[in-house]
Amino acid sequence: MSQCCPTPTLWLVVCQKCSAVERMSLGAGQRPLSGSGTKHNLSFSSLILNPVGGYYHKLKTHMVSSYQDIYFGEDVITMECNSRDFQRRIGLINRNAEVICDFIRSCSIAGGMPSSVIKDIFYPKWTTRDKYEICRVKHSRLDREGDGRDGGFGGLFTISFVTAAASTAFFNTLLCYKGPSFGTTFTLACPYTILAHYTELEWAAEYGVEETFVRISIGIEDKECVLGYIEAALKAAQATSTSS
């Protein structure tokens, strides 16, 4: 890629990982297609070239000439098996996340609570909604009940806090698993900015990426259980305001 594109800022490549091997000891998160329950057992990725990009033809030619089909046969079979209830799981994640995000938003400054320690929640339902609607799946059957509802807003969101103390208390009290993820069958939370930009926090802050962000990926657990975790964490975070 670097040989084809000496000025990489001028081309667009979207690399979308759809799953990763689950390793709880390392805190790594798998994507929904890696299975459900205990079946987090393989990974795959896809790369999409932008056909209107200035380097599309160079990249396409290079990839066609160098491509090797080395996908292990049994992995393909396992991926197919794991994908059979993918729509059901995604539909459940979407619905769980929306309920939970509605609650968090209602407890935030942006949601009309001026004394809250939560400033806002970044979630497509409210953040750049107009742009999200352009690519949002319309009238999709998201589960086997066949209700034909539109695609949801995903299971990933970020919470912005007033203080570092509130963010820390929230994260430490939250009883879900901790680790990075873009979507898994169980809820995960991570201090996103610290993990991704630890050596460049000042630079990240220049672009609105706050050091105290907490990113959460909602899973397919009972939503009332996850709401209980969130409520307890919010209570601990709010206590930092009254004690200061």
pLDDT at 11: 36
Same domain? 137 vs 223: yes
> Is it the case that residue 34 has pLDDT exceeding 60?
no
3-state DSSP assignment of residue 178: strand
Same domain? 218 vs 104: yes
pLDDT at 71: 84
pLDDT at 43: 67
Same domain? 98 vs 38: no
Residue at 1 is within a domain: no
In the chain, how many domains are there?
2
CATH code of residue 171: 3.90.1150.10
Q: Are strands 177-178 and 156-161 parallel, antiparallel or unpaired?
A: unpaired
Same domain? 120 vs 186: yes
Same domain? 147 vs 99: yes
Residue with tokens 């991570």: 190
Which of 21-25, 42-46, 202-206, 240-244 is predicted with the least confidence, judged by mean pLDDT? 21-25
Per cent of the chain over pLDDT 90 is 56
Residue pLDDT, tens place only, 183-195: 678 999 999 999 9
Per cent of the chain over pLDDT 70 is 76
Which one has a higher pLDDT value, 43 or 179? 179
Q: How far is CA 4 from CA 52, 140, 196, in A?
A: 16, 39, 27
Q: Are 188 and 217 spatial neighbours (Cβ–Cβ below 8 Å)?
A: yes
Residue pLDDT, tens place only, 101-132: 999 999 999 999 999 999 999 999 999 999 99
Same domain? 33 vs 136: no
pLDDT at 32: 54
Final residue of a structural domain among 60, 82, 104: 82
From the list 243, 244, 230, the residue with the least C-alpha distance to 108 is 230
Q: What is the mean pLDDT of the chain?
A: 81
Residue at 3 is within a domain: no
Q: Are strands 177-178 and 44-49 parallel, antiparallel or unpaired?
A: unpaired
Residue at 114 is within a domain: yes
pLDDT at 209: 94
Final residue of a structural domain among 63, 82, 101: 82
Instruction: Supply the range of the domain harboring residue 32.
Output: 8-82
CA–CA distance, 97 with 124 (Å, rounded to integer):
11
Residue at 2 is within a domain: no
How distant is the alpha carbon of residue 136 from its chain centre?
A: 16
Same domain? 107 vs 228: yes
3-state DSSP assignment of residue 190: strand
Q: Are 125 and 103 spatial neighbours (Cβ–Cβ below 8 Å)?
A: no
Instruction: Give this prediction's pTM.
Output: 0.74
Same domain? 209 vs 153: yes
Final residue of a structural domain among 39, 62, 82: 82
Residue pLDDT, tens place only, 151-180: 899 999 999 999 999 999 999 999 999 988
